[in-house]
Every structure is written in structure tokens, then in C-alpha cells.
Amino acid sequence: MNKRSTIYDCSVVHLPKVNNRAGNITFVENNIHVSFSISRIYYLYDIPAGAERGGHAHKELHHFMVAASGSFNVILDDGINKKVVELNRPDYGLYIPPGIWAELFNFSSGAISLNLVSEKYDENDYLRKYDEFLLFKGKKLKKRLS
């Protein structure tokens, strides 16, 4: 699915929320709330105003992203179509399959991006240059005029 993934394969998922006067709890379970087994968890925080993160795609890795605190936007790009998703609630997450270019921006003060992924870190799984991403997706690159 990775080369053929489109932005329409990405989805916002409502996670369980247990309400309590002393504070709420939300949980995520392998193969139930996410469609893959979680191999790694990482989080982004202390993001300076105006900073952008991401700007890459993965060949095999499945990604589930939650705004654990604050808010931020995610640009999803399949090489043809693009859409922007705003994450601003800790009981909603964004599923991103392999083969989707993602960029994070517009972080609020104190934003925390919680990321659950299907694979351990492997630099070879990353597509960090947009032209390489387009080639991976089978798109022909236009020649630039000098």
C-alpha cells in the first residue's frame, strides 16, 4: 500500500475518553485503536514559535499522531493531492500510512506531539527529499529550466 497510499487513506480517529472530575484519561491499544502494532513512541515538545517539523515520508512505517497538549497542523501530501489536518484534542489521533509526505506547523505554545509508530528507527525508511518521494510514488519529475 505504501506507494499507492493517498491522503484519503489517512484518517482522524476518535480515541476512548474516560471522564472524571479529577481528570480525564485516554488510551491507545495495539491493533484496536491503531491498525498496527506499536514498536516505538516518541514525542515532540518545546517547539519554538514558527518552527516546522516533519518534512518527510516513510517507505514502510505506519504513524499515529496525537496532540497530547496544545495544537498544531499537519500537511498530508500523496504526490498529487494535499490536505491540512488540525490536531487540537488529546482524544483524537491522525493515522498516516507509509508513502505519505507529512509536514507539521503552526504549533501552539506548549504543544506536544505524541507519536506512535510501527517500526524502530531506521534511516533507510525515510524519504527526506521531496523529489525522492515523488520518484518513490512513481511520479515523473519535471525538468527545471535554467
Nearest to 68 by CA among 29, 34, 37, 94: 94
Grid coordinates of 111:
504543544
Mean pLDDT value across the chain: 93
| CATH class (in words) of the domain with range 7-136 | mainly beta
Nearest to 13 by CA among 95, 103, 100: 95
Grid coordinates of 16:
476512548
Known catalytic residues are: 56
pLDDT at 47: 94
Q: What is the pTM of this model?
A: 0.91
* pLDDT for 142 beyond 70: no
- Residue-wise pLDDT for 32-61, tens only, equals 999 999 999 999 999 988 899 999 999 999
Per cent of the chain over pLDDT 90 is 88
pLDDT at 143: 58
* pLDDT for 105 beyond 70: yes
* pLDDT for 15 beyond 70: yes
Q: How many CB atoms lie within 10 A of CB 42?
A: 10
